[in-house]
Amino acid sequence: MRLFIVTGEASGDLHGAKLIEALQKEMPAIEILGIGGPQMREAGLKSIYDVEKLGVVGITEVLGHFKHIWLAWQRAKEVLLNTPIDLFIPIDYPDFNLRLAAIAQKKKVPVLYYISPQVWAWRKNRVKTIARLVDKMAVILPFEEKFYKKYGVNVVFVGHPLLDIMPLEETEEEPVIGLLPGSRVGEIRRILPIMLKTASLIYKRSPEFKFILPVASTLDINWIEQIMASNQPDFPLTIVEDNDYSLRQRCCFLIVASGTATLETAILLKPFVIVYSLSPWSYILGKKLVKVPYIGLVNWVAGRKIIPEFIQHQARPELIAQKILSLLANSEKLRQIKKELKLVRASLGKSGVAGRVARMAKEMVQGNAGL
């Protein structure tokens, strides 16, 4: 049996690796081809293109990476057209993966879509394409199942895969503030300087704090250090290469770029603020296309704004620092935030997510083979 798995960013690489491990337990003889990062390759993926070259966000940013996206597309298309595949498992990355799903359908390859694109937030018309091309959706956010069922999509809420990999016990905190600027080159280039200036303002007001900067495994640490050098941080900062959750557990507060990291921080029950900034044209175009009340996933899951958001023009270091310092000075408010985060974590389901998806994949492969 041969499976084809495709993701396009660091968070997908992490969850894809756990899925590959679970798939190998369910179907020991399988071969897994696809596009992934270092963690998926280490888990057993035979990579046809490396995800490190594809990590972009925003409309204008995609244009700068078009060569890599095109090469990856050509190789992926060639695999689906010319290699016998028993199941295609796209992981998020919708503009790329839905086109591959169309090819898979023509080749009569079943499609199990793991980790839904955020069609509930923007470009909802894509749900019709999903209903047409995808045999089963394995969604990871609690409200997504209800959304897809409205459109007749075969969907199952499997729980959030972060629950399989993250520590759930609370540990003693230290006066450490974490900076999480994202995993994509474009967003880090814009957001990290904002976070560094914010940290500098906090340190000037409260010099008892230290700071850590976890770096995603798909990023070049030397490039991060170049950004650091150009911004010349004047506060104690430690760069962590392996994105260790245990270090985040030490933090009493975090500054987080919008994305998966907001849910990671929520699961750790850590108070935080959300910061995000796109290039001007991406923001203008995105604002016309995206009509949402919140940008942070944690606020979507909660159904209301429980975590402050500083987006684009509001993402100013002085505003962010002022908010963080006021929260750190209010122990009752911090307790309330943690209480809200516990409710969010409980709504994300139970651990064992990768195993559930692997069993679904096995059933689909056997069903397609008539076993």
Q: Quick one: three-class SS letters along the chain?
A: CEEEEECCCHHHHHHHHHHHHHHHHHCCCCEEEEEECHHHHHHCCEEEEEHHHCCCCCHHHHHHCHHHHHHHHHHHHHHHHHCCCCEEEEECCHHHHHHHHHHHHHCCCCEEEECCCCCCCECCCHHHHHHHHCCEEEECCHHHHHHHHCCCCCEEECCCCHHHHCCCCCCCCCCEEEEECCCCHHHHHHHHHHHHHHHHHHHHHCCCCEEEEECCCCCCHHHHHHHHHHHCCCCCEEEECCCCHHHHHHCCEEEEECCHHHHHHHHCCCCEEEEECCCHHHHHHHHHHECCCCCCHHHHHHCCCCCCEEEHHHCCHHHHHHHHHHHHCCHHHHHHHHHHHHHHHHHCCCCCHHHHHHHHHHHHHHHHHCC
Residue 368's alpha-carbon distances to 89, 102, 364, in angstroms, are 14, 17, 6
Average pLDDT, integer, range 296-319: 94
Average pLDDT over every residue of 192-211: 97
Partner residues linked to 179 by β-bridges: 255
Mean pLDDT highest for which of 6-20, 163-177, 197-211? 197-211
Q: Could you give the domains of the chain?
A: 2-159+350-369 (3.40.50.2000), 174-348 (3.40.50.2000)
Q: What is the mean pLDDT of residues 223-228?
A: 85
**Region 79-97: what's the mean pLDDT?**
95
Predicted pLDDT at 216: 72
Residue 277 confidence (pLDDT): 85
Query: Is residue 342 pLDDT above 70, yes or no?
Result: yes
Of residues 185 and 55, the one with the higher pLDDT is 185
Closest CA to 331 of 258, 253, 220, 223: 253
The identity of residue 74, as a single letter, is Q
Query: What mean pLDDT is predicted for residues 74-103?
Result: 96
When pLDDT is cut at 50, 70 and 90, the band that residue 59 belongs to is very low
Provide mean pLDDT across the span 129-140: 97
Tell me, what's the pLDDT at 303?
A: 92
Q: What is the pLDDT of residues 138-162, one digit of tens each?
A: 999 999 999 999 999 999 999 999 9
Q: Which residue has the higher pLDDT, 182 or 106?
A: 106
Q: Is the pLDDT of residue 120 over 90?
A: no
CB 298 within 8 A of CB 344: yes
Q: Where is average pLDDT lowest: 194-208, 277-291, 353-367?
A: 277-291
CA angle 250, 12, 26 (to 5 degrees): 105
**Beta bridge pairs of residue 35:** 6, 49
Cβ within 8 Å of residue 186, ≥6 positions away: 56, 57, 58, 61, 64, 279
Q: What is the mean pLDDT of residues 48-73?
A: 68
What mean pLDDT, rounded, does the chain reach?
90
How much is the pLDDT for 242?
Answer: 63
Query: Do 82 and 7 touch, CB atoms closer than 8 A?
Result: no
pLDDT, one tens digit per residue, over 286-301 is 665 566 678 899 999 9
- pLDDT, residue 280, reads 59
| pLDDT average, residue stretch 164-184 | 90
pLDDT at 211: 97
Highest mean pLDDT among 8-12, 38-42, 284-288, 358-362: 358-362
Judged against a pLDDT cut of 50, whether residue 121 lies above it is answered with yes
